[in-house]
Amino acid sequence: MKAAPWKGYHSTVKTQYLPSPHQSAWLSTVCGLFFCLASILFATPARAQFRSDLPNLGDTERGDLSPRAERRLGESIMHKIRRDPDYLDDAPLSDYLNRIGNSMLAKYPEARGETGNDFEFFAVRDLTLNAFALPGGYIAIHSGLILSTQSESELASVIAHEIGHVAQRHIARMMGQQKQDMLIPLAAVAAAALAARSSPDAAQALLAGGLGASAQRQLNFSREAEREADRIGFQILGSSGYDPSGMTVFFGRMQTATRAYSDATPAYLRTHPMTTERIADIQARIREMRYRQRADSLDYHLIRARVRLLQDHSTHGLIEAERAFKEQLALKLRMQTISARYGLALVALQRGDHVAARKQLQQARKDAKDQQTLSKNPLFASTSIDVHMAARNFSEAAKEANHARHTFTLSRGFVYQYADALLAADHSNEATNFLRDQVQQYRAEPKLHRQLAKAYSAQDKRALMHLALAEAYELSGSLPAALEQLSLARQAPDATYYEHSVIDAREREWQARRREQLKQSNKQK
């Protein structure tokens, strides 16, 4: 099957990893015991030397993890997560989750807590109903959970709950209490997660031997943390205009599923223990509030259609998605019809049929035309650009992407689409100028540096190409690869005196950091 032509703002669709139910249960248990270990669930057997990957936890004499160390730990984990095939690097999806999360933070800024860190919300390709918070403000939502929600308020309630964990610094407090002894259970959990991919029994033995009595302490802390996160999440939902009852509806539906299928407890309930007392407390708070209904946005319906395709892009997955979208059309409900047309457009793109994709997308926009804000939706715009790219209408794709990035200024994905379209149209000079300006404003985005490297390559500027790749690798957390690119840049025949100066400065800085990493790794062995 040929590669998918729709990229979704430069997304990457990769082979789905589906663990067995037994493996999924162990992985979810591991995640529940230690919030901050989500990245280890994405580890591959090739990275079995997990001890050397553990970041420096900072000053172990503190009562908790310092805000700076907490952020560094989160960044270190995210470097690993972003390299995993099940990390959903899909800009429309990321934009949507971040719009929800950041809109709630804007309405309830106290949730940023004492650290004041920016939050990042992202999705993971996983059928299980789960979500987790990482140190420093990183929050993940499983694709299975997104598909299981029945309203936008339900999805928002999960995100708000995870924000509550970060706001209350539960991870930092947990790790601070463990201090240096935390490295031992960290290593045991890492080993268990790795073993679960091939041998659930081995995972069970490693987990039991490595954690021992500390597991119960973590669970006890977790139950208290859940109550605090409920309280903060409820306040966030109320301030943001979402229906707070979405929290109890979602949890209640999962509990019902648990009673019906006792051997298949949803992962979210395993990692976020739900009690009748917690649900009763939330319901009591709801009764004290004035009822306020909130209609789901079109974005919510379109994103669920998109996630269905991202979840499983196999031939069977496409057939099942197409069947589901056609069933939606038969309901003759307005939002369902629009999102079904959009989903069928994505199915057609996945199959390489850009003509059918354009037809379905145009029909979806026509169905939404009575409301201008709906017909000019950012997901429609991004998919239209993808259709032009699939049809090799690169100039038209660049034109639409340029318009979209000015219309939807908070959606960074249009920037990547615009650069891709310029490069595909052989406008390398224009692409270089545009990307250099973007890099100056958004230096921390590795995608921009990779695209800039591609633009330099088209101009045969070897030294600058390797320098741009070095920056991309460094931002992605791979210092050895970044240093190798610096070496190649130094050897390039077109390297100027100024570029040699930049190479020397970067090399000194990164070599020093690399030595510090190796020093910390040796201490942990």
**Domain with 272 in it:** 21-287
- pLDDT band of residue 387 (cuts 50, 70, 90) is very high
What CA–CA distance (Å, rounded) separates 520 from 525? Answer: 9
Q: Which of 174, 162, 176, 280 is nearest to 226 (CA)?
A: 162
Note whether residue 204 is domain-resident: yes
Mean local confidence (pLDDT), 50-72: 52
Note whether residue 315 is domain-resident: no
- pLDDT band of residue 270 (cuts 50, 70, 90) is low
DSSP character for 2? P
Which two tokens mark 377?
């939706």
- CA 315 vs. chain centroid, Å, equals 25
Contact assessment for residue 338 and residue 298, using Cβ atoms and an 8 Å cutoff: yes
DSSP-H helix ranges across 297-393: 298-311, 315-331, 334-350, 354-367, 372-375, 378-390
- pLDDT band of residue 312 (cuts 50, 70, 90) is very high
Q: Which residue has the higher pLDDT, 30 or 312?
A: 312
- pLDDT band of residue 19 (cuts 50, 70, 90) is very low
Tell me which long-range contacts 101-106 makes (C-beta under 8 A, separation of at least 24): 101/139, 101/159, 101/163, 103/240, 104/156, 104/159, 104/160, 104/163, 104/236, 104/237, 104/239, 104/240, 104/242, 105/163, 105/236
- pLDDT band of residue 519 (cuts 50, 70, 90) is confident
Note whether residue 524 is domain-resident: yes
| Total number of domains constituting the chain | 2
Mean local confidence (pLDDT), 360-387: 85
Sign (positive or negative) of CA dihedral 413, 419, 423, 424 = positive
Out of 234, 257, 287, pick the residue that ends a domain. 287
Q: In CATH, what number is assigned to the domain containing residue 525? A: 1.25.40
Integer Rg of the chain from CA: 24
Note whether residue 83 is domain-resident: yes
Q: Which residue has the higher pLDDT, 96 or 268?
A: 96
Q: Which residue has the higher pLDDT, 202 or 145?
A: 145
Mean local confidence (pLDDT), 175-203: 46
Note whether residue 403 is domain-resident: no
Parallel, antiparallel, or unpaired: how do β-strands 120-124 and 138-142 relate? parallel
- pLDDT band of residue 178 (cuts 50, 70, 90) is low
Note whether residue 200 is domain-resident: yes
The model carries a pTM of: 0.80
pLDDT tens per residue, range 212-232: 444 444 444 467 788 888 888
Note whether residue 175 is domain-resident: yes
Out of 260, 287, 314, pick the residue that ends a domain. 287
What CA–CA distance (Å, rounded) separates 127 from 124? Answer: 9
Give percent of the chain with pLDDT exceeding 90: 50
What CA–CA distance (Å, rounded) separates 426 from 416? Answer: 15
Note whether residue 406 is domain-resident: no
pLDDT tens per residue, range 28-51: 433 443 433 433 333 333 333 323
The pLDDT assigned to 268 comes to 63
DSSP character for 480? H
Out of 266, 287, 308, pick the residue that ends a domain. 287
